[in-house]
Structure 1
Amino acid sequence: MLAKFLPGARGAVLPLAILLLVVIMVVPIPAALLDIFFVTNIAISLAVLMVALNARKPLDFSAFPTVLLFTTLFRLGLNVASTRIVLVHGHEGEAAAGHVIEAFGNFLIGGDYVVGIFVFAILMIINLIVVTKGAGRVSEVSARFTLDALPGKQMAIDADLNAGLLTPDEAKARRVEVTTEADFYGSMDGSSKFVKGDAVAAMLILAANVIGGLILGPVSHGLTIAEAARAYILLAIGDALVAQLPALMLSIAAAAIVTRVSSDKDLAGQIGSQFGSPRTWTPVAGILTLLGVMPGMPHLLLLSGAAVAGFAAWKLHQIERRPPPPAPVAAVEPADQSRIGYEDVSDGMLVRLDIGYGLVPLVDERKGAPLMGRITGVRRQLSKELGFVVPQVRVVDDINLAPYTYRLVVGGVVVGEDQVSPDEMLALDTGQAVGSLRGKTAKDPTFGLDATWIAPGDADAATGAGFLVVDPGTVVATHLNHALGQNAADLLGPDEVQALLDGLKERNPQVVASLTPQPLALTTLTQILRGLLAEGISLREFRRIASAISIAAQKSPHAEDIVELIRPDLGSLIVQKLCGVREPLRVMTLEGQLEGLLGQAARADTSGRHVIEPDLGRRIVDAITRAAQPLIAEAKPFALVVQPAIRIAIRKLVKTCLPDTPVLSFFEVPEDKAVEVVAVIGASQPAQAGHFQPQALPA
């Protein structure tokens, strides 16, 4: 309480309390001050019990093991102080040890120390055998199961984080909660020994007071054995009962905490809600009525109890039949028309899917919301592929769109738009279809394949004819997946990069320390990673990427230069997406003279814009497109391999016609990787048999 009202003294409260406890044990204190401490001890025990009963879950009182330790030490210190007063002044009368001990000795046990001994023994049995032993067993089992479940809970948090169901801050908070829970139950398992030891100490202290009084009375004060027993044993019993009452309350608090099940209600509310059913009290009333009419039974008591149980059942039944109260309508304050907030300017979402009103059934929860489940699957899969958590997708119905039109927006930019029919299926011609279908012809929005919208009843026939049939939700989800993959760089911001660094720091702290904030700022690191994503390089192997960046940053501080410097170190990661381990890498190259010409132009370009002369660029693009058409038709991945000096310029050029084609430098191809040259762009003569077939650059 002192720490609450005097924030500056908060750190000194606990040391002062420990010092006071030592003083109580060592220095004799007057009986009046001892009474104050006894009342304080009872008040603290009651407060602890109330906090334990009102906690909604065990972790709401996570400080309980430490509180239990200090309250036990405080009570034992009072026992030492009271023992000193009882043995020194016990011959002076019943009030010699203070009014609290006198009251417990006279009022509670009627001044008969024999009765007091039996009352104390019963309290000890209840506390030590029933409450403390049971609570200790529950604590032991809870600690064991909590520690066994700890790895599984941490893996579940990591899985939810990777799936995008949790933000990094939420995942960190859940990890802290799981760790705190394990520490709490482990501490409770040990703190139960405090209560047991306190009970044993209470018996030993009582025995010491009784034996000491029986010796000191006759020897030091000339009392008879009967007078010494009357004086000292009565005070000793009162002292033991004063200490045992708070100990029993703390034992009950400990038992309530360890047996508590997490709920949104306190203990009284949880018990009340579970007993508040007429189906519970109706059988009770019936059984008590049967017992009440039997001969020889206390009819009045049993029938009265049956009447109370029957009334409770009837009242609860009436409560169940009542209609739920209407939700309170909050008073709506008149809007300030002059105020413009951030929510009026932007919805704050990076990725948005706008749909026409005709596509609302695809996201209607009453109809299963098939599209929402597929969007979650897209985010989960993309997060695994890209190496960071893809932001959530907000679905908005836009009255400005045509009924069956949808639009994909990333960072405020429209990256895709098309139409789907919510009541039909899309049959795709993948090149193996036979015949034609009745329906509305269309183009697949993702890959541009010929397609037809057909009735759901014709889906089996279309599948048998070789068409690939998909539902409209899959069409939109596939388009979304492709669009987000192509614009992955726009999905990565400083917050996502910081989350990657935080995750890496837990496993490889030295790598992060060598990377940021020196020599690279977070913004520069974000530019580098976005540059990698823009060229289809995943961040899944972030430790390897971060290590390469930290080395390259010693050579250049510029993001674009660092990207080019680390690409050779990531060559194996790039190539493995294009071919299998035992397959050769299919590549297209530029003719030597053409490559030399472009290299000279790149070295002469002091602006660093990597611009190729328009007419030459058009002819290169045409030649690459013609050479790539057979490979694209056969779905064979390939790469364009050029000199490092012109890689950026060729990448910018190829991106306009073949955005998914990777452009590599010679240094990025692993030395042990077999290479199959499928085309040479710019060669004027075809290759001899057994060699590659070059493609001539048109005049």
Structure 2
Amino acid sequence: MKNRDYIVMFGVILIVMMLIIPLPSSLLSFLIILNISLALVILLVTLNVSEALEFSVFPSLLLIMTLFRIGLNVSTTRLILTKGDAGQVIAAFGQFVVGGNVIVGLVVFMILIIVQFIVITKGAERVAEVAARFTLDAMPGKQMSIDADMNAGLINDQEAKKRREKITREADFYGAMDGASKFVKGDAIASMIIVAINLIVGMIIGMAQLGMPLASAAQNFSLLSVGDGIVSQIPALLISTATGIVVTRSSSESNMGKEVSDQLLAFPAMLVVAGIVIFILGLTPIGMIATLPIALLMVAGGLLIRRNRRKAVQTITQDQDKQREEKFKSQENVINLLHMDPVEFEFGYALVPLADSSQGGDLLDRIVMIRRQLALELGIVLPVVRIRDNIQLEPNKYRIKINGSEVAEGELMLDHYLAMSPGVEDDSIKGMETKEPAFGLKALWIDEQTKERAEMSGYTVVDPPSVVSTHLTEVLRRHAYELVGRQEVRQLVDHLKEQYPALVEAVTPEPLSIGDVQKVLVNLLKEKLSIRKLPVIFETLADYAQMTKDPGLLTEYVRQSLSRQITEQFAKQGESLKVLTLSPDLERKISESVQKTEHGNFLAMDTGSTTRILKNLSEAVEKWADMDSDPVILCSPAVRMYVHQLTERYFPNIYVLSYNELETNVEVQSIGVLNAA
């Protein structure tokens, strides 16, 4: 690699020296052929790159090649004006290429200048300018697109960084090409000036210093000047063409040769039509000698390409059928059947309009909003909800599955509204009796004509999409802890590590594993507590994980750290928190019934005592029905975890809090005491 660097640096130094030091004609001829060869190589490379950034060094290379040609022009001008000879290559171009005719040579040279300066260079300059402007204007949108893909989880940080670097390189490249295209334009102008100088000054030197007759001086210096101009314009034209190809090249998966052949021959029938037109053209005085071979070639080529493509399509179809058959027979196909969606929403065929956007259904949009709402509320990203129709269900029914098991079901009437009573029944409101699926409230399915009257009577009236979205929200909120596995916790931890690397390293992988952290988070979600304050949770785990790895105890410590959050969740602003407390005898009995094992601590109370406690709790909950808040049991921190173990199966809607989980400014009102007897 170092040798290559030295070669480039040494080459640039030699080019600069060419502008100062006279070169012998033999070395100059070698350098002229080298210039043509390098220009040809650059052109071929531009034809084979799939996108412009693969040849990102082109703007710098363009400057070096322009400087190289100027150095050659200076050297040839020095030889022409001092010796009247510029070497074998220029003499050959002056004699052989243009037939020794000065007029023909000047015409060829002017055509090359016009093609390069007006056609190729001017067009490439304009394209480079527009491409640079559009690339810079599109940068903010591309950056936002990358950020959106990363936030959606479609790409990772490394891929996002790679894409951002590519966008920056594109902007730098097209900006450089906008300026580098001016080199080609200036080179064309310089070539015309140099040829004019060689021609005019050469004739003057030939007559004044070399003693040549006017005719001989004009003939000699004209051929040398034209030969020098053509020799310099051929590589310049190749470089100009390469410049135009680079700035007009769009990103693709293949090189230009393959794309031209694929796209130009994409419609073989058009080749046949073009061949027929050329054949008809031969019936005119133009004659068949020039048109017939081309017509036959195009018709035969079109028919041959068409036949080969049909065979290729048949072969591909046969291969695909064979692959599908092998895949069906393979073991992998059976393994794929074991995949299970975390969340599924199935519905009967009558509810298809709910999910069909062409029929006005917005269920998909509602589910997106539900996932966003629960992410803000619970602090977790729920998996995508798989929506599918199921002909085995009754037409108006739906069901919700978590990890393949049904957890809820409901029934809708799309042409009706669900009306829930405010507490005072209105006998004039008629409908089909049902239950609101999310909370089990008594409700009626009413028609469009009854809707306005029901609203005036104080009923809460909702449409079917709102019914099902509310039900789905509550089910996902209730079962969120079942959707948080080790993989999901790993994603949360990785996200937290971006902002709090030291905090994460203090917790995992030592002293706690991802599985230990997952158990704590599941315990919190199971009691409907948000884990959005993940930094606070990890701070607590970092403090207490050195003392214990029991998920239950760690959960209790975390709950106490989240006291402000728990207080805001259960204690309404300006109102006292109504609670049910435990008698000292009951707390003592629960403490004495705790059994400690190597797998954790558990409540092991005798059946009789458990039955009496649950009976007393049931009576207390019935009295709570008249209140507008959820039942809350308040107890000491030492027994809170075990009271929850006792009540969670039979009374899942009861919240169990400890004194340490409430802020000191909360006013607590005891509405009853739960006894052991």
Do the two structures share a fold, i.e. TM-score over 0.5? yes
Q: Distance in 2 between matches of 1:504 and 1:99?
A: 74
What is the 5 A alignment of 1:274-673?
Answer: 330=317, 332-333=321-322, 335=325, 339-340=330-331, 341-342=333-334, 345-435=337-427, 437-580=429-572, 582-602=574-594, 608-613=600-605, 614-629=607-622, 633-637=626-630, 639-671=632-664, 673=665
2:33 is matched with 35
Residue 552 of structure 1: how far off its partner (Å): 3.7
Tell me the residue number matched to 2:69: 79
Structure 2 Cα separation of the partners of residues 37 and 412 of structure 1: 71
Contact 2:39 2:238 in 1 (8 A): yes
List per-residue Cα deviations over 1:357-389 (Å, max 9, x = no partner).
Answer: 443443345533344443333223223322232
TM-aligned CA deviation for residue 50 of structure 1: 7.0
Check whether the contact 2:345–2:388 (CA below 8 A) recurs between aligned residues: yes
Distance in 1 between the 2:92 and 2:422 partners?
Answer: 96
CA change 1:557–1:194 in 2 (3 A) is farther
Instruction: Name 1:188's counterpart in structure 2.
Output: 174
Cα distance in 1 for partners of 2:414, 2:158 equals 41
Give the secondary-structure state (helix, strand or coil) at the position aligned to 2:472.
Answer: helix
**Deviation of residue 172 (structure 1)?**
7.5
RMSD (Å) for aligned C-alpha atoms: 4.6
**CA offsets 1:534-569 (integer angstroms, 9 cap, x no match):** 222223333333444344434444544433332222
In structure 1, give the amino acid aligned to 2:594.
A
User: Greater Rg, structure 1 or structure 2?
Assistant: 2
In structure 2, the partner of 1:167 is 153
Alignment of 1:17-36 (within 5 A): 18-26=5-13, 31=29, 35=33
**Secondary structure class of the residue paired with 2:531:** coil
Alpha-carbon contact 1:353-1:407 (below 8 Å) kept: yes
| Matches of 1:461 and 1:524, distance apart in 2 | 55
Contact 1:113–1:233 (Cα < 8 Å) also in 2: no
Q: Displacement, 1:480?
A: 1.6
- The answer to whether the 8 A contact 1:355-1:398 is kept is yes
> What does 1:134-145 correspond to in 2, within 5 Å?
134-135=126-127, 137-145=129-137
SS at match of 1:653: helix
Decide whether the 8 Å contact of 2:39 with 2:236 is kept in 1: no
On the 8 A contact 1:31/1:85 being kept in 2, the answer is: no
Residues 131 and 62 (structure 1 numbering): CA distance in 2 closer, same or farther, change over 3 Å? closer
For 1:604 and 1:391, locate their aligned partners in 2 and report how far apart those are by CA, in whole Å: 37
Deviation for aligned residue 1:484: 0.9
Measure, in 1, the Cα distance between the counterparts of 2:41 and 2:100: 20
Per the normalisation by structure 1, the TM-score is 0.71
Aligned residue in 1 for 2:59: 69
Which residue type is aligned with residue 654 of structure 1? T
- 1:644 is paired with a residue whose SS is coil
SS of 1:645's partner is coil
Q: How far does the alpha carbon of each residue in 1:180-222 deviate from its partner, in whole angstroms, 9 at most, with x for none? A: 3355224422442233245446656886898799699969x96
Separation (CA, whole Å) in 1 of partners of 2:100 and 2:538: 76
Within-5 A mapping of 1:234-253 = 234-253=226-245
> How many angstroms apart in 1 are the aligned matches of 2:578 and 2:224?
101
**Compared CA separation, residues 609 and 97, structure 1 to 2 (3 A):** farther
CA distance in 2 between counterparts of 1:109 and 1:560 reads 100
5+ residue gaps, structure 1, are 1-11, 273-326, 683-696
SS of the aligned residue for 1:169 comes to coil
SS in 2 for 1:539: coil
Unaligned runs of 5+ in 2: 15-22, 265-312
Distance apart, 1:412 and its partner CA: 2.0
Matched to 1:167, the amino acid is: G
- 8 Å CA contact 1:489, 1:533 repeated in 2: yes
Q: Percent identity, aligned pairs only?
A: 21
C-alpha contact 2:351 2:414 (8 A) present in aligned 1: yes
Distance in 2, Cα, partners of 1:118 & 1:106: 16
Structure 1 residue 42, shift from structure 2 partner: 3.0
Letter in 2 for 1:635: D
Partners of 1:400 and 1:107 lie apart in 2 by 92
Supply the distance in 2 between the matched residues of 1:174 and 1:149 (Cα, whole angstroms): 14
Give per-residue Cα distances to partners, 1:379-436, cap 9 Å, x unaligned.
2322332223221111233344344332211112221123333443322224254336
1:349 match: secondary structure = coil
How far apart are residue 481 of structure 1 and its match? 1.2
Distance, in Å, in 2 between the alignment partners of 1:107 and 1:501 is 81
- Judged with a 3 Å threshold, the aligned counterparts in structure 2 of structure 1 residues 539 and 153 are, in CA distance, closer, same or farther, namely farther
SS at match of 1:594: helix
Matched residue, 1:283: none
The 1:144/1:604 distance shift into structure 2, 3 A limit, reads closer
Give how far 1:106 is off: 7.6
Report SS of the residue matched to 2:43: helix
Q: How big is the shift at 1:248?
A: 2.3
Q: Which amino acid aligns with 1:527?
A: K
Q: Distance in 1 between matches of 2:100 and 2:375?
A: 72
Higher deviation after alignment, 25-34 or 563-572? 25-34
Deviation at 1:448, TM superposition (A): 1.0
